[in-house]
Chain A
Amino acid sequence: MTLDQYRPFVGPSTLRELRWLAEHLNGRRICCVNATKTGGGVAEILHRMIPLLRELGLDVWWEVLEGHPAFYQATKKLHNALHGKPETLTPEMQQTLIEVNQRNLSRLNLDADIVFIHDPQPIALVEARRQVGRHWLWRCHIDLTYAQRDAWEFLRPYVQRYDAAVYSAPAFARPLAIRQILIAPSIDPLSDKNKELSPETINDVFAHLGIPQDRPIVTQVSRFDYLKDPIGVVEAFRLVRRSIRCRLVLAGGPASDDPEGEEILAKVRERVGSDPDIHLLMLPPDSHTEINALQRGSTVIVQKSLREGFGLTVAEALWKGKSVVASAVGGIPLQVKHRYSGLLVHSIEGAAHAIKQCLRNPEFAKQLGENGREHVRQNFLLTRHLRDYLMMFLTLGRSEDMMTLNGS
């Protein structure tokens, strides 16, 4: 992909501004580090973002932490605890996390102007900041609103050694002495998951997946993770179906750093039983066109998460002009202005009520969808994300609230 391909969505002035901002960074060297190359929103964003940052003249590379099963078990526990699930991160697990970080120090190239660490798994790499890297940024993609105290206390000494922490929503910020920057993630309108699809392609996907399009379809696209509350979605759907005939699609996929997916899927299967109106789909990680078609062919998209780092699936659904019913957690209220661009809910009953409102009032649902698409165009496309990163890099080491750059 090249920047010029985004012109139809954002116009020429946005692209010009990106190039001006990038010129002020003089080809700075930036190293991004995370824990997986595939699966999950973080890897997806980096795959898209890095080529564009390079096109803008920055010297960017991507390093991936190498771990082992015990490490991924420990990081999953840490992840859940940071999302508020009661979990015990034993001293042995903490030691595993630290050791894997230390071992990776010798194999990763962190010799950069800016070392950009994503999520908690590689957080302890900052111990090397005296030897390598000029500025260090920690990008937290997790909803820390309900973080378990022990988990946060484990992270805090590391976070405080960074120049800045970067969050997707203000609720995630913690009392810290360092700068706390807010940057929402984004979706790529050119990706297979978001590009326009013909009605034939959409119909083919539904047929291939065995989902009849004979009734309104309510869909949630998410990993099978208890934090996404798939069972809550099933219960909400069953409340809706008492009065409206419709179908439910729960579509998820595995990620290489998530050992719990199969276990949660089994629980959902048990709850669904032989209900012919509920379609459970465990899709491979590269099923982008299928996800795109499922969203486009649905009447209402649900994101009933209990916790959410950001909830990019909401932006994806809004971009497709769909009415969205979503929990008011994490970054979702940033994407959905209640009653303007979607409906925010707080419970299973609330979700059911909101889904019914959309199904019974197609004009209202259409207006929500149109507003939602425009909101994403203005605020959640990859070009806005790029601009925020460029500004963040430019403001490192500065403290003023208004910074003027010279002409270029």
Chain B
Amino acid sequence: MADAHAHSLTAVTPFQFYTSFVLQEATGFRAATLPRLVKLLHRVPEACIYHHTHYFLLSHHYLTPEPTHDFAYWVTEVLGDEALGERLASIDILEFNSLAKIRVILVKTIEDHLAQHPTARFRFVSEGEEFFFIKSVQVVMPTQETASSLAEFAEALSRVSLSSLYFHIFDARLRLGRSTNDFARWCEEQLGETTLAKELIALDPYAHSLEALRSMIIALVRQRVG
């Protein structure tokens, strides 16, 4: 709901928009079967878990519907186990607030499937089509965009790159260990906008393309300031 008061509020600490860039690094770990995949899932760095469950959001954000995360895509399209692929794709990553927990649910889903379908362990892919574990190395830097009010915030958000949006939504929570996305946190802590913050938290970032997500956030903020 529009609120004249919300329009005039100014934050003591302006919102500083950052952006992050992903440099991909090979780890040398590869899996041609499900048992090998699950074994490696136990030990690869968290940067790998993050990469394979999130990087597709940046690289394929324009597709509607978006393809699934890397584990589900590989299991379905390359290994050919559609039942497991479907189970992996249906994991609601938003429910998990740490990479450690995402790792656990991925491992459990695959191990449960192997227990229920013992022959699944014999599926394999040929050389060159294995699941290759990659890790994200991120370079983070501030942009020149800052905002002290909701109106300025909406304007700046419309100008920043999708990498910036990605940083404040996904990196903030899962790589920097913040309780929620940066936008909601700033609205609540700096402007006392509790309701707006809750609306921003309630958005499911995995269910929309990044461009759609940007539009939805801007719409919520503009609705608030009228």
CA A337 – CA B206 in complex, angstroms?
19
**By the criterion CB–CB under 8 Å, are A405 and B134 in contact?**
no
| Contacting residues, chain B, for A337 (C-beta < 8 A) | 60, 63, 67, 73
**By the criterion CB–CB under 8 Å, are A145 and B128 in contact?**
yes
**By the criterion CB–CB under 8 Å, are A175 and B28 in contact?**
yes
**By the criterion CB–CB under 8 Å, are B142 and A407 in contact?**
yes
Encoded as 1 (CB less than 8 Å from any A CB) or 0, chain B from 143 to 171 comes to: 11000000000000001110110000000
Which B126-141 residues sit within 8 Å CB-CB of chain A?
127-130, 132-141
**By the criterion CB–CB under 8 Å, are A182 and B62 in contact?**
no
| Contacting residues, chain A, for B42 (C-beta < 8 A) | none
Answer yes or no: A131 CB below 8 A from chain B CBs: no
| Contacting residues, chain A, for B164 (C-beta < 8 A) | 13
Q: Which of A170, A374, A377, A401 contacts B138 (CB 8 A)?
A: A401
| Contacting residues, chain A, for B137 (C-beta < 8 A) | 391, 395, 400-403
**By the criterion CB–CB under 8 Å, are A146 and B128 in contact?**
yes
CA A379 – CA B63 in complex, angstroms?
13
**By the criterion CB–CB under 8 Å, are A170 and B26 in contact?**
yes
| Contacting residues, chain A, for B160 (C-beta < 8 A) | 13
Which A383-402 residues sit within 8 Å CB-CB of chain B?
387-388, 391-392, 394-395, 400-402
- From residue A254, how far is it (CB to closest CB) to chain B in Å? 28
Q: Which of B25, B130, B140 contacts A403 (CB 8 A)?
A: B140
**By the criterion CB–CB under 8 Å, are A375 and B26 in contact?**
no
Closest to B161 in A: A13
**By the criterion CB–CB under 8 Å, are A374 and B24 in contact?**
no
Interface 9-residue window, one of A14-22, A93-101, A213-221 = A14-22
| Contacting residues, chain A, for B30 (C-beta < 8 A) | 170-171
Question: With contacts A170-B26, A329-B128, A391-B23 known, is A338 near B163, CB below 8 A?
Answer: no
Closest to A333 in B: B129
- From residue B31, how far is it (CB to closest CB) to chain A in Å? 12
Answer yes or no: B77 CB below 8 A from chain A CBs: yes
CA A404 – CA B137 in complex, angstroms?
11
| Contacting residues, chain B, for A280 (C-beta < 8 A) | none
| Contacting residues, chain B, for A387 (C-beta < 8 A) | 21
CA A175 – CA B26 in complex, angstroms?
10
**By the criterion CB–CB under 8 Å, are A375 and B62 in contact?**
yes
| Contacting residues, chain A, for B119 (C-beta < 8 A) | none
Encoded as 1 (CB less than 8 Å from any A CB) or 0, chain B from 49 to 75 comes to: 000000000011111000100000100
- From residue A322, how far is it (CB to closest CB) to chain B in Å? 17
CA A172 – CA B77 in complex, angstroms?
21
Answer yes or no: B175 CB below 8 A from chain A CBs: yes
Answer yes or no: A179 CB below 8 A from chain B CBs: yes
Interface residue count for A (Cβ, 8 Å)?
50
**By the criterion CB–CB under 8 Å, are B136 and A401 in contact?**
yes
| Contacting residues, chain B, for A401 (C-beta < 8 A) | 45, 47, 135-138
- From residue A3, how far is it (CB to closest CB) to chain B in Å? 15
- From residue A354, how far is it (CB to closest CB) to chain B in Å? 14
CA A340 – CA B64 in complex, angstroms?
10
**By the criterion CB–CB under 8 Å, are A173 and B136 in contact?**
no
CA A400 – CA B30 in complex, angstroms?
22
CA A183 – CA B25 in complex, angstroms?
9
- From residue B18, how far is it (CB to closest CB) to chain A in Å? 8
**By the criterion CB–CB under 8 Å, are B140 and A404 in contact?**
yes
**By the criterion CB–CB under 8 Å, are B23 and A13 in contact?**
no
Encoded as 1 (CB less than 8 Å from any B CB) or 0, chain A from 3 to 45 comes to: 0000000010110110011001000000000000000000000
| Contacting residues, chain B, for A16 (C-beta < 8 A) | 143-144
**By the criterion CB–CB under 8 Å, are B28 and A21 in contact?**
no
Answer yes or no: A237 CB below 8 A from chain B CBs: no
Answer yes or no: A181 CB below 8 A from chain B CBs: yes
CA A167 – CA B28 in complex, angstroms?
12
**By the criterion CB–CB under 8 Å, are B63 and A13 in contact?**
no
**By the criterion CB–CB under 8 Å, are B61 and A391 in contact?**
no
**By the criterion CB–CB under 8 Å, are A391 and B139 in contact?**
yes
Answer yes or no: B181 CB below 8 A from chain A CBs: no
Answer yes or no: A378 CB below 8 A from chain B CBs: yes
Most buried by A among B135, B138, B175: B138
| Contacting residues, chain A, for B47 (C-beta < 8 A) | 401
Subset of 9 A-B contacts with CB under 8 Å: A145-B128, A146-B128, A171-B30, A183-B23, A337-B73, A388-B23, A402-B140, A404-B141, A406-B142
With A146-B127, A338-B77 known, 13 other A-B pairs at CB within 8 A are A13-B164, A14-B161, A20-B143, A145-B127, A167-B26, A170-B132, A170-B134, A171-B30, A378-B62, A392-B23, A402-B138, A402-B140, A406-B141
Q: Rank and list the top 7 A-B pairs by shortest CB-CB distance, nearest first.
A: A170-B132, A173-B26, A13-B161, A182-B24, A405-B141, A180-B26, A145-B128
